[in-house]
Amino acid sequence: MAARNCPECGGLVASTINVCPHCGYQLEDELNHKNSTQNRTRGENPYNSIAWSIISLIFCWPFGLVSIIYCLKSDSSWCSGDDFSARHYGKTSILWAKIPLWILLGILCFVFLIAILSVVFA
C-alpha cells in the first residue's frame, strides 16, 4: 500500500483513502491533484503576516527582521505551490513578530505594578 503526505497537516495518508485521518482534509487523487495545481492560479497567501512583521519591526527591529524573512519564505513557498511550508513559515513569522510585543506588554505591566506599589506604600 502506497502512502502520501497530507498537504494540510503533513501526516501520512494511505493512497486508498481520500480524507486525512489526522486533520480531516479532503484529499484528491494524485492525477486530479497534479492537474488542479497546474491549472489553478495562486491567489493571495492566507498565511501572510506582513502587518504583524511591520509592527514588530517598529518596536524591536531584530525580531521584526526575522519575522519579515519568514514572511518572505512563506510567500515564496505559497507561490511555488507548497501549502504546508507556507503555513509553517507563516506561523513562525507571526511567532517572531509577537515575541517583542509580549515582552513590551510585560515591561509595561511591571512598570505599572511598581508605580501602583510606590503610591500605595509611600
Q: What is the mean pLDDT of residues 19-43?
A: 63
* Total structural domains within the chain: 2
Query: Residues 33, 64: one domain?
Result: no
Domain that holds residue 120: 45-122
**H helix runs in 50-82, sequence order:** 50-59, 61-80
User: Beta partners for 12?
Assistant: 5
Res. 30 pLDDT band, cuts 50 70 90 = very low
Asked which of 14-18, 90-94, 100-104, 105-109 is least confident by mean pLDDT, the reply is 14-18
Q: Based on the fold, state whether residues 89 and 67 are members of the same structural domain.
A: yes
84 shares its domain with 71: yes
Highest mean pLDDT among 29-38, 64-73, 76-85, 108-117: 108-117
| pLDDT for res 119 | 92
Q: What is the mean pLDDT of the chain?
A: 82
Q: Please say if the pLDDT value at position 19 is more than 50.
A: yes
- Mean per-residue pLDDT, 11-37: 70
**pLDDT of the residue at 70:** 93
Question: Per-residue confidence at 31, pLDDT binned at 50, 70, 90?
Answer: very low
Judgement on whether residues 109 and 66 belong to the same structural domain of the protein = yes
Residue 105: its pLDDT value, please? 92
Question: How many CB atoms are closer than 10 A to CB 105?
Answer: 11
| pLDDT at residue 76, rounded to an integer | 87
60 with 119, same domain: the answer is yes
Same domain for 71 and 107: yes
What does each C-alpha distance from 17 to 1, 35, 93, 104 come to in angstroms? Answer: 11, 19, 33, 48
Q: Are residues 52 and 91 in the same domain?
A: yes
- pLDDT of 112: 96
Asked whether residue 25 falls in the same domain as residue 7, the answer is yes
H-helix or E-strand containing 35?
A: helix 30-39
If asked whether residues 56 and 21 sit together in one domain, one would say no
In 3D space, the residue among 27, 41, 46 whose CA is nearest the CA of residue 87 turns out to be 46
Q: Does 59 share its domain with 85?
A: yes
